[in-house]
Amino acid sequence: MTSATLRHSVWILRGNPLTAVAAAGVTLFVLVAIFGPWIVPYDPVVSNVSEALQPPSAAHLAGTDQLGRDVFSRLIIAARLDLAIAVTAVGISFVIGAVVGSFCGYAGGRLDRAVGRFVDVMMAFPLFVLAMAMVAALGNRIENIVIATAIINLPFYIRFARAEVNVRRNVGWVEAARACGESHFSVVLRFLLPNILPAMAVQISLNLGWAILNAAGLSFIGLGVKPPTPEWGIMVAEGARFISTGRWWLVAFPGLALMLAVLCFNLLGDGMRDILDPRMRT
């Protein structure tokens, strides 16, 4: 990043304090995911039954669970897995979706309309159910949570890339590239795709939050992640048994972590959209 772009970004963020806070939040989550194992006060998987089910205190900031494990340490360690699942899934669907969508939008015609119609219908389908069925069929493993989340994200990217390329396919610089003898492949990959990237970045940020929620939901119902692995969704599931006896911290803190992560990604996405296209502000 050149210093001019950096200065411009800082100037923009100053005008959007909420976006700046969200960006800081996302950075914090990423840092926690990377350095988590070095900053946790306790081992997240070692149980200590004498200290089971203790409410939050100075020693255990978020209390302890039924096996006496420190909830705060588990939350921190879980960040890596949760973010990794969401980022990998969104990454896969972004790459495939952007390429497929761009080629469809560029080619136009009957195939493009068919893909468009199919994607529209898919987007309205209960996608969580589809993800559930996919994990069931592929096998109950973390990789398959990633694959299922990637597949249910795919329609959003195909549709988005299609629409964005469609409005650009006949503009001057595309025609100029063609006139210079660029092949169709090259026009799409080297000219159109880079041009729609900023708009796609907004989509990615908004989608990451959704992917985190989906992955957590899948592990909450017992798919993918297995105990004792720390993961926010499964922590809520394990804490659910104790909620009707008043052990709120087992559910509230992983829930809060999920909420904050999703909120930061959503606000960042909204902020980026406002910066790219102020008319879309709602």
Partner 1 sequence: MVRTGLGATMVRAGRRLLSSLPALFGVLVFTFLLMRVLPGDPAVFFASGPNAGKEEIEQIRRQMGLDKSVPEQLVFYLSDIGHGNLGRSMMTGQPVLKDLRERLPASLELTFTALLIALIAAVPLGVIAALRPGSIIDHGVRLFCALGVCVPTFVSGLLLIYVFYYLFGLAPDPTGRIDVFTSLPPQRTGFLSIDFLLAGDFEGWWAACRQLILPAVSMALFVIAPLARITRASMLVSLGSDFVRTARSVGLSWRKVVVTYALRNAILPVITIAGIVFSTMLGANVLVEKVFSWPGVASYALDALLSSDYAPVQGFVLLMASLFVLVNLVVDICYGIADPRVSIE
| Preceding peptide of 228 cis, ω within 30° | yes
Regarding 9 and contact with partner 1 (CB under 8 A), the answer is no
Per CB under 8 A, does 115 bind partner 1? Answer: no
Rg of the chain in Å (alpha carbons): 22
Count other C-beta atoms under 10 Å from residue 142's C-beta.
Answer: 21
> Closer to partner 1 at the Cβ: 28 or 130?
130
**One symbol per residue from 207 to 246: x for binding partner 1 (CB under 8 A), - otherwise; what is it?**
--x---x--xx--xxxx---------x--xx-xx--xxxx
Q: Length of the chain in residues, anyone?
A: 282
Q: What's the maximum distance between 2 C-alpha atoms anywhere in the chain?
A: 76
Tokens of 59: 């020693």
Q: How far apart are CA 155 and CA 153, in angstroms?
A: 6
Our CB check for partner 1 shows the closer of 50 and 282 to be 282
Three-class SS state of 70 = strand
- Is 127 near partner 1 (CB under 8 A)? yes
Q: Which is nearer to partner 1, 174 or 251 (CB)?
A: 251
Please give the Cα distance from 38 to 121 (Å, whole number): 46
Please tell me whether residue 201 binds partner 1 under the rule CB under 8 A.
Answer: no
Binding of partner 1 by 1 (CB under 8 A): no
Q: Which range of residues in 69-77, 80-88, 131-139, 177-185 is near partner 1 by CB under 8 A?
A: 131-139
x/- contact string, 137-176, with partner 1 (CB under 8 A)?
xxx-------------------------------------
**Is the separation of the CB atoms in 214 and 149 below 8 Å?**
yes
Give dist(CA 94, CA 101) in Å, integer. Answer: 10
> Rule CB under 8 A: which residues touch partner 1?
117-118, 121-130, 132-134, 136-139, 209, 213, 216-217, 220-223, 233, 236-237, 239-240, 243-246, 248, 251-252, 254-255, 258-260, 262-263, 266-267, 282
